[in-house]
Amino acid sequence: MPNNNEFIMNDVLISYRNVELCRGENIILRGVNFEQRKSEFVYIIGRVGSGKSTFLKTLYCDIPISKGEVASILDYDLMKIKKKQIPLLRRKVGVVFQDFQLLTDRSVYRNLEFVLRSTGWKDKHAIEERIQEVLVQVGMVTKGYKMPYELSGGEQQHIAIAGAY
């Protein structure tokens, strides 16, 4: 049985302590302290240009961490992560982008298939099952054949969420 300190440490999904985030020469955020534990739901809100997207992009290593004491997600040290580890991290982190990032030349089904294949899925049957499962979860099971432009904004968002599962 772990002691309370071990349980607390294992319960932490994301931990940033005194982190600095830069884009080029510009410091975007300084002194970031953030922790998220399992079962917590977090909203990140702020004015346009306040650094929300920069912070989120550091979580999946699209933007590197400039400085800090601790920057980790799912036991990956974001300050020491190797390039070859980034795809492994990204397979564990679901991201829903503001603009949905749907490929306009592919159906909903093909968009979801692309996401799965690009994150390491190979078995055709397993891919088909997973696509059906996530479409059911987001209430879009009848929309797999549609193209993104045939969907409403809300439906596109549901598909983006399905892709992040």
Residues 84 and 114 in one domain: no
Q: Residue type at 54?
A: T
Per-residue model confidence (pLDDT) at position 9: 52
Task: State the sign of the Cα–Cα–Cα–Cα dihedral 45, 92, 69, 9.
Answer: positive
Residues 70 and 140 in one domain: no
- Domain contains 96: no
Q: What is Dmax (Cα atoms) for the chain?
A: 53
- Domain contains 97: no
* Angstrom distance (rounded) from CA 93 to CA 103: 20
Residues of the chain with pLDDT under 50: 1-7
Total domains, the chain: 2
Which residue range is the domain that position 117 belongs to?
108-164
Q: Where residue 16 sits, what CATH number does that domain have?
A: 3.40.50.300
99-106 contact pairs (CB < 8 A, 24+): 100/148, 100/156, 100/157, 100/159, 100/160, 101/160, 101/163, 102/148, 102/156, 102/159, 102/160, 103/148, 104/147, 104/148, 104/149, 106/147
Per-residue model confidence (pLDDT) at position 119: 84
Percentage of the chain surpassing pLDDT 70? Answer: 93
- Domain contains 66: yes
- Domain contains 99: no
* Tens-digit pLDDT profile for residues 79-116: 999 999 998 898 888 777 677 789 999 999 999 999 99
Per-residue model confidence (pLDDT) at position 7: 44
